[in-house]
């Protein structure tokens, strides 16, 4: 089974690629989805977050206050590292289980949708990597619009990741997502043909 890492930067459009792959029957492991599952109400990780960062991180409904946590960790490298140390082992464990399941089911390929593929040192897990690229200007505009952030907040989030221009140098393939969705999907289809992965 070929393992392909799908990554990019925040608001680069990686989810568009991921959705297309799922819609067309490819096996996709979504690290973001798993990261939301491990901090769902009632999960042990939620208690650990509360112990580490305070009760204010939990909403009255018992769910994680994502906004509050994000504003805390994107302004403080040490707190972000502490959160990652708490959550990453749980996320990785679930990802490996899913990968194992796809292998047992006989999938010819599995895409690992991991925003922090390079930052987390997980490139060694995969055979090939795809980076979804947008210009810094477009990334900033999209992030500010999508998450309702001002420029300094958006730049702080972008600054917590390796710049896309650097990730491009590490990738086996790059999908330029500065144009239309149709143009992006065409690039993906050509890439799947080149790697003999058409479904």
Residue 15 is labelled as binding a ligand: yes
**Residue 14 among known ligand-binding residues:** yes
Q: Return the pLDDT at 74.
A: 83
Domains in the chain (CATH in brackets) are 2-193 (3.40.50.300)
Summarize the confidence of residues 66-90 as an average pLDDT.
Answer: 91
The pLDDT confidence band at residue 132, using thresholds 50, 70 and 90, is very high
Query: If you average pLDDT over residues 42-60, what whole number do you get?
Result: 93
Compute the average pLDDT of residues 16-43: 95
Share of the chain above pLDDT 90, in %: 92
For the segment 154-189, what is each residue's pLDDT rounded down to a tens digit? 999 999 899 999 999 999 999 999 999 999 999 999
Query: Positive or negative CA dihedral for 4, 20, 97, 61?
Result: positive
42 is in an annotated binding site: no
Check the annotation: does 171 bind a ligand. Answer: no
Predicted TM-score (pTM) of this structure:
0.89
Is 78 labelled a binding residue? no
Residue of 146, 172, 175 lying closest to 4 (CA atoms): 172
Measured distance CA(103)–CA(15) in Å, rounded? 23
User: Is 140's pLDDT higher than 80?
Assistant: yes
Residue 71, annotated ligand binder? no
Q: Is the pLDDT of residue 199 over 80?
A: no
């Amino acid at each position: 089974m070929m393992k392909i890492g799908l990554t990019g930067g925040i608001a680069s459009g990686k989810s568009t690629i991921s959705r297309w792959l799922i819609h067309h029957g490819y096996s996709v492991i979504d690290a973001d989805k798993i990261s939301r599952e491990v901090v769902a109400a009632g999960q042990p990780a939620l208690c650990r977050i509360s112990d580490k960062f305070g009760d204010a991180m939990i909403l009255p409904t018992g769910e994680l206050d994502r906004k509050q946590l994000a504003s805390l960790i994107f302004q403080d490298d040490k707190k972000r590292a502490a959160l990652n140390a708490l959550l990453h082992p749980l996320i990785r464990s679930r990802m490996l289980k899913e990968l194992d399941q796809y292998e047992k089911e006989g999938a010819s390929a599995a895409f690992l949708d991991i925003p922090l593929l390079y930052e987390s040192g997980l490139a060694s897990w995969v055979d090939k990597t795809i980076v979804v690229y947008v210009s810094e200007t477009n990334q900033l505009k999209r992030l500010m619009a999508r998450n309702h952030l001002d420029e300094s907040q958006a730049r702080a989030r972008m600054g917590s990741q390796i710049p896309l221009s650097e990730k491009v140098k590490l990738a086996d393939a790059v999908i330029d997502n500065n144009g239309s969705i149709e143009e992006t999907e065409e690039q993906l289809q050509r890439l799947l043909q080149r790697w003999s992965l058409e479904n």
